[in-house]
Each structure stands twice: as C-alpha cells, then as structure tokens.
C-alpha cells in the first residue's frame, strides 16, 4: 500500500486522513499546532463532526499525528495538501498556506512523490504549485501533481467521504492517475478522471451552483411574502421535476460555512481578474448578504426599538450538525442586537464555546431552550437544530413574556402556530399575528 501523508487537520485534511485509514492505509497527519497534535494523538477529535471521533479511535493504529513535516514527507508516496485557503479582503483565495506546505514537501522529500491538492484552489493553482515543487526539489526527486477536490458537507463529512457521489481526479500523467485510482478503488465510488484545470473548476462550479440554488429560492421566498404564495409549497412542486431536484430548495436567511461564501467570492474575483463578469455569482453574493438581515428587518414590524428588550436566540452555528460559526447569520445579527441595547440570551447545543471566544461577556449563554426563552419579548431562530424543530410550539407561549417568533429556518408548521396566541413570522410564508387571542 502507498504511504500517505496529509498536511492540515481541519475538516478536509482530518476527515480525509481518517477515512483513508479506515480503508487500511497508513496515514501521517501533519499540523503546525503542537497542542492539537498532542490532543489527537491522545484520541481527542478537534472538530465536532458526527462519526469522526469513533472512526479515529477504531483506526488509530493506522494514524500518526506529528508537527515534524520533514519525517512525514521524506519517504511518503503521496502527500495530500488539505490546508485552508481563506478569503482575502478582495475576495480572492489566500494560497499562502498551500505554498508553504509545497515548499516543505519539496525540501523534505527524498523519493519521487505525487502531491495531491485537496484544498479548494483557483484554476491554475496546481500548475503553479508543481512549478514550485520542481524548482525547490532535491536533486533526483520527481514530483507529480493531482487535483482531487472534496465535496463534503460539515455535519455529514464522514458519510460524504465514504459514500461520495463521485471522486474527481485531475492529473497530467498516467502514473499520478494510476496512484489516485488505486487509492480510491477501495471506496467503490464513481471516478471522474479529467485534466487538472477542469478538476479545479468542477469544485468551484459545483459549490457555486448550490449557492445559486439557495439564493434563487431565497429570492422566490421574498417574492412569495409579497404576493401571498407559500415558498414551501412552491419548493415541493419544483422538487418533483428531476431536472431541478428537491435538494437545496429550503428558503431561509442565507448560506454560511467554510465553502459557499468563500468560493462564490473567489470565483467572482477570478472571473473579474480575467476580464469577465459572472453576473449570476455576483447576484448570489448580494442576495445572500441581504438575506442574513431578513429577520432584523422583520423585527421592525413588531418592535420600534430594541433598547432594553430581552431577546432569545436559538442557534448560533451556520447550520445544524457542526460547531462552525464561519459566515453564520448570528455573527451579523447578534452584534446589531447588542449595539441596539438588547439583552441577548442565546442557546446552541455545540456552538457556544466558539461564540464565547468572540463574545465572552456581552450576552447570556443558556443551557436549555426554555432558559433562553424565559421572559423574552422576541425570539430569533437562526439555526434549524433538531431540538428546535422538535419543540412543542406551546413552549413559546409558556416561557416568553411576549411570544413574537421570527423564524429564519421555517422550523414550524403554520397550522400549529395559528392555533396559538403568538406572532410567528418566517421566510416566504404568511405571517401569523394572533397575540390578541
């Protein structure tokens, strides 16, 4: 079997490493954070991801964690690069971490090696990294490059890796293609073999298409509110069309996370850099930014001032199943609530520790939904956690001083809410105003 090293132990790198280990490969995980490496070596999973801690434990004999990149790369047959490519101020992708790892690989490798870029990178990056590897390679060492983008979602990353809809492999040599094909044969998934630039584009085109789909449905939802249509019925009717499908049709308050916001901006920047404008992507970015403030705009109908108001917030993370806050609507809404003089009481099953790093004392963190709702005059729902969706709507009436619920994820059935003395305003559906009951 091939000896594999993986640079980076975030969502992409660690999930890839553990899933490869589950197929019998010996994998060395490299990270610059010594404390993180020590914790992983002791069996602790550094990210909240369903099934990952169990898989790490089950296949620990195939996994090594280290900060010593030289020893990890010197005799590796394959090195995956899975480090971050964060967004720069201008929207372009920051490739500094990718380049740093490439330089480390070049100075460390003592045998021929296939370098696989799994990080999301702009079209043309693989070729520039190959040039860097060749420039700095030790005498007699040959490098080959491959693009192998990931298509995992946070919260379902293990499942998405082990049971992917497809595996994309972009190469320019038969040997590199054979190595990647051999590795992924154990996964039993469809393989799309292509050239490197096409593989790079497949990643961006896929992510940005889903962002477009979400943004389109949010615009339809906004129009539904104006015209009196119900966006959930609209989505249900659309979803039966096999050309459209029923995925990513749920209206809400915008997308977040580590991929869609960054990838739409990066592709938009790349197009502009090449004197072309992707009008659809530009529109998706604008729609998403506006949609995140949808609940705040709705609140003005029910509350002229937030000063001194007790506000309940249900959900801090950008989606359920993860503790990731990146581009979460809560990060735009809660600062505004605080600046407006509101008292914020927030609940989230896993996101509170990360939110506390940003706002340690500015708001109250609650262990239960009921605690967050107690005495509240407004409730904002930012994340559709199962605990929220399973809630008996009557709890709003029992716990809140004034049950005004602004639901950014359409968690509750309109008929159930209509039977209660509440204000319930969601996305793309008629508002219920029954406080007079």
CA nearest neighbour of 314 among 386, 369, 395: 369
Contact criterion met (CB below 8 Å) for 109 and 73: yes
Q: Which residue(s) pair with 194 in the sheet?
A: 170
Catalytic residues, by residue number, are: 259
Which positions ≥6 away from 246 have C-beta within 8 Å? Answer: 235, 236, 238, 239, 240
Which segments of 292-385 does DSSP mark as H helices, in order?
294-299, 330-339, 352-358, 369-373
Exposure of 433 in the CB half-sphere (CA atoms within 13 A): 5
**CA-to-CA distance for 432 and 345, rounded, in angstroms?**
24
**CA-to-CA distance for 257 and 316, rounded, in angstroms?**
12
Which segments of 292-430 does DSSP mark as H helices, in order?
294-299, 330-339, 352-358, 369-373, 386-389, 394-399, 414-418
Phi-psi region of 24 (alpha: psi -120 to 50; beta: other; left: phi over 0): left
Q: Which residue(s) pair with 117 in the sheet?
A: 81, 147
């Amino acid at each position: 079997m091939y000896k594999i090293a993986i640079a980076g132990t975030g969502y992409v790198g660690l999930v890839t490493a553990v899933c490869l280990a589950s197929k019998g490969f010996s994998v060395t995980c490299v990270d610059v954070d010594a404390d993180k490496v020590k914790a992983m070596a002791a069996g602790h999973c550094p990210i909240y991801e369903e099934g990952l801690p169990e898989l790490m434990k089950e296949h620990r004999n195939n996994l090594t964690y280290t900060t010593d990149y030289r020893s990890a790369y010197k005799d590796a047959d394959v090195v995956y690069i899975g480090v971050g490519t964060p967004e720069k101020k201008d929207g372009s992708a920051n490739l500094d971490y990718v380049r740093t790892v490439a330089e480390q690989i070049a100075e460390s490798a003592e045998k021929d090696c296939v370098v696989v870029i799994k990080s999301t990178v702009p079209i043309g990056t693989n070729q520039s990294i190959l040039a860097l590897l060749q420039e700095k390679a030790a005498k007699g060492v040959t490098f080959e490059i491959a693009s192998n983008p990931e298509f995992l979602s946070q919260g379902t990353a293990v499942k998405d890796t082990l049971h992917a809809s497809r595996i994309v492999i972009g190469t320019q040599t038969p040997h590199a293609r054979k190595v990647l094909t051999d590795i992924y044969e154990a996964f039993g998934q469809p393989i799309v073999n292509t050239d490197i630039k096409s593989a790079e584009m497949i990643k961006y085109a896929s992510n940005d298409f889903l962002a477009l789909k979400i943004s389109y449905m949010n615009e339809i939802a906004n129009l539904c509110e104006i015209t009196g249509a119900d966006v959930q019925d609209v989505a249900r009717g659309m979803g039966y069309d096999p050309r459209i499908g029923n995925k990513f049709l749920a209206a809400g308050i915008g997308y977040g996370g580590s991929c869609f916001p960054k990838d739409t901006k990066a592709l938009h920047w790349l197009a502009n850099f090449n004197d072309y404008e992707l009008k659809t992507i530009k529109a998706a970015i604008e729609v998403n930014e506006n949609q995140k403030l949808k609940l705040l705009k709705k609140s003005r109908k029910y509350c002229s001032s937030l000063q001194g108001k007790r506000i309940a917030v249900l959900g801090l993370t950008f989606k359920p199943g993860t503790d990731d806050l990146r581009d979460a609507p809560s990060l735009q809404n809660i600062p505004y609530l605080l600046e407006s003089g509101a008292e914020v009481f927030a609940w989230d099953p896993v996101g509170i520790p990360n939110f506390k790093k940003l706002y340690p004392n500015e708001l109250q963190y609650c262990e239960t939904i009921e605690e967050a709702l107690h005495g509240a005059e407004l409730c904002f729902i930012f994340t559709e956690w199962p605990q929220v969706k399973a809630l008996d709507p009557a709890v709003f009436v029992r716990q809140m001083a004034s049950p005004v619920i602004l639901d950014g994820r359409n968690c509750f059935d309109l008929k159930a809410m209509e039977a209660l003395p509440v204000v319930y305003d969601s996305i793309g559906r008629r508002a219920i105003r029954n406080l007079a009951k």
